[in-house]
Amino acid sequence: MYDYLDDLEARTIYILREAYNRVDPLAMLWSIGKDSNALLWMVRKAFYGRVPFPVVQLDTEMELPEVYEFRDMLVKEWDLPLLVEMCPPEAEMDQTLPPATRAATRKTVGLRNLLEKHKYRGIFAGIRRDEQAMRAKERVFSPRTLDGDWDFKDQPAEFWDQYKTDFPDGCHVRIHPILHWTELDIWRYTKRENLPVVPLYYSRDGMRYRSLGEKNITFPVASPASNIDEIIAELEVTKTPERAGRSMDRETEDSFERLRATGYM
């Protein structure tokens, strides 16, 4: 197992360094969840204990209290260059979208505003292919228009860890260094590296969060797993999808596709 985790880590660090060498300026989105925390840890490994670009939280002021507490603790402990981008209110979103999808769109618009202000050429995001069907279509280096539009049918080929990193003006690049990881990989790595996580991932009264999002559109799922070993054991056998607690995933069939096509993470 440990050779396998080392291989996953090495590939991620290679992607991080390749992007840092080829794309400028850069920023990293930080959701404060298990995936972006693991990615942030590997950023610190890749750059010898420092984070050489802004770490951005797209804030809707709707995160769970434990998430904000964890953010403030880790910013201090890891000396993170945090940048908080406040997202516009839900009333300004596309009212034709279903309610939970409309709420999730706030971060899409928040990211668009961030790019307009800071002109980032590349954005790191901690998404994985196994999370959701639309994310399975992603590339490691994924070009977007400046508005965030994504044509998933027209993406550069990526063979043998060779990535296209030069893109024309009028676009930015989403970079996904842990695209090849799974949920189980992340938890095994978190255990091995002894990484801190938001306590909401652990069961309380028979319920826990498998995926963290805003408190109005994310809910815990039934689970007795109260520590990392129990979470790993559960994931080795469960057939319940990771995003079972995300209400937007249960709305109209094309909701997530519409979100991703217009810039959602």
Closest CA to 83 of 118, 112, 57: 57
Measured in whole angstroms, the distance separating CA 248 from the mean position of its chain's CA atoms is 16
pLDDT, tens digit, for every residue of 233-263?
999 998 887 866 555 555 444 554 555 455 4
For residue 140, give the 3-state DSSP assignment: coil
Ordered structural domains, the chain, with CATH = 2-181+251-261 (3.40.50.620)
What average pLDDT is seen over the chain?
A: 86
Mean pLDDT of 145-167: 66
* CA dist list (Å): 7 to 15, 36, 55, 101: 13, 18, 25, 36
DSSP 121-186: SEEE----GGG-TTGGG--SEEEEETT----TTS----BTTB------TTEEEEE-TTTT--HHHH
Structure tokens at 29: 């989105």
Picking from 58, 49, 50, 45, the residue whose alpha carbon sits closest to that of residue 11 is 45
pLDDT of 253: 45
**Mean pLDDT: which of 9-23, 125-139, 146-160 is highest?**
9-23
What is the bridge-based pairing of β-strands 122-124 and 171-175?
Answer: parallel
- Decide if pLDDT at 264 tops 70: no
The values of phi and psi at residue 264, to 5°, are -65, 150
Q: Which helix (H) or strand (E) holds 234?
A: helix 228-235
Does residue 1 carry a pLDDT above 70? no
**pLDDT recorded at residue 149:** 66
Number of C-beta neighbours around residue 22 at 10 A = 17
pLDDT of residue 134: 66
At 251 the pLDDT is 47
Torsion 129-202-54-257 (CA) sign:
positive
- pLDDT tens sequence across 165-200: 677 677 788 999 999 999 999 999 999 999 999 999
**Whole-prediction pTM value?**
0.86
HSE of 43, CA atoms in CB hemisphere, 13 A? 29
The token duo for 60 is 């809707």
Lowest mean pLDDT among 37-46, 47-56, 131-140, 172-181: 131-140
Give the model's pLDDT for residue 81.
98
**What pLDDT, in 10s, does the model give residues 62-116?**
999 999 999 999 999 999 999 999 999 888 888 888 887 887 888 989 999 999 9
Q: Which residue has the higher pLDDT, 85 or 154?
A: 85
Q: At what angle do helices 228-235 and 183-193 cross, to 10 degrees?
A: 160
